[in-house]
Chains A and B, each alone.
Chain A
Amino acid sequence: MTTTTGTAPSPRALARQRRRASVARFWRQYRSERAGLYGLTALSLCALLALFAPLVVGSDVSSVTDAPGRPMQSPSAGFPLGTDQFGRDLLGLVIWGSRVSLLVGLLAAVLSVAIGTLIGVTAGHFKGWYATVMMRITDWFLVMPTLVLAIALATVMSRSLTTTVVAIGVTTWPTTARLVRAQTLAVETRPYIERAKALGGGHWHIMSRHVLPNVMPLVLAQTTLIISSAILAEATLAFLGLGDPTVVSWGGLLQDAREAGAVSAGDWWYLVPPGIAIAVVALAFTLCGRAVESVLNPRLGVSR
């Protein structure tokens, strides 16, 4: 670790100032992406709804025993989205389901990007056999059909939210790893890395203080894009009956609907809301991700 002499303004304050300026610049450019703003607005609303769901619908909404309505009622004033096969309020269930769907999507994406970043940065930094082995593994995961592998993992582990997060996380990281490695290789050719090395900076110092900050914008864009596919993957696993059966999620609601015979009975109100919720959130994350990408892309990672 290099020490710095304290002059006014201190280097730390300077760094903070510079960071604030670059965030402000990023936001200015992001604001000009209209689709990205739509996505961000939709996401903020969903996040608020998910956070305050206990206040809006109450946590007893998923209880089968004290369901307020009759089974399979079509939408009415009392139940704006109708009821399910137990007479539970579907509007409440969809709002309640956002908690699990968003949480699992976020956690799985964070896990996936964390693995990808770790492998990408280390493979880019340490060349030689370590990089070769890591990239072989990455390539192998890359050719595997992600969903099939996730399904297989979810089949062999016990049904729980952790299982879903792990199954999605460990199958979707390779694209991130490749992107991050390419970016790391580009960053490492810059002169200041050589300077840091000459001053005695160790591997950890270089990776955490010099490479990682430069790779972060890319990682951010990647996370946003992966959340969208993670939410879809969660819904898919839940629909196939591989999710946690004790919690309410959008994919789980769709599976319930199918098992309760809503499809053949033509009870469309049971199916439409959870699907729209999934699509809106997935689309919103995709739009945000694309906006972040297009802001960064002109000089991807070459922030200065």
Chain B
Amino acid sequence: MKISAGKMLFFVGLIIISAIAAQMYASVKQRERIVSPPQAEYSTLFPVKINAPKPLAEIATDQKDAKGNAILVSCQSCHSVRSPNPQNGSAGPLISFHQDLDFVHGKLVCISCHNPEGYYADFRLASGESINPENVMTLCAQCHGPQFRDYQNGSHGGMTGHWDLRKGPRQRNHCVDCHDPHKPAFPLFRPVAGPNDRFTPHQTKGTHE
């Protein structure tokens, strides 16, 4: 059977075009692979744990037991019988307990955050809703929205562990790990020693010119 030159040209053209198309497809595939890493299944990721704040059920008295540990007393033992003062925002007027409290946190008063209805063992939001100490970040976030947003996106607060949650867990600080809720400004730090000057003889063994 004789194949005409036109048919031949057509088939050759077809082969070339399909080869080019395959090449382009492969290169697009390649680029896709580079720009979008395969996302791990959510179920395979390790958890991000946030430090739990201390529960608020007890406070130390000025008395100590035989081993020298402060004797603790439940909040309820006083607060169940005393009515809250909605104006008080400092330790000044108090005649017992909390007297060493240094309170510098805006214009807040005790019951802005502490819940008198729960005998001060829990907190309450501005809405009046009670909130447990372990969820207290929600309380902070009522006013500190930008910080909370940054925290949720991993750019506020210290952490340890893994950047890649497919490989291991991460541990994150809670607001109250760094900020005292009653005096939230970050304290001054004494910096650790800096690098020694190579050219100062008393700091290193010798000098180098």
Q: Is the A/B pair a real complex?
A: no
Query: Which residues of A does B touch, CB under 8 Å?
Result: none
Q: Which residue numbers of B lie inside 8 Å of A, CB to CB? A: none
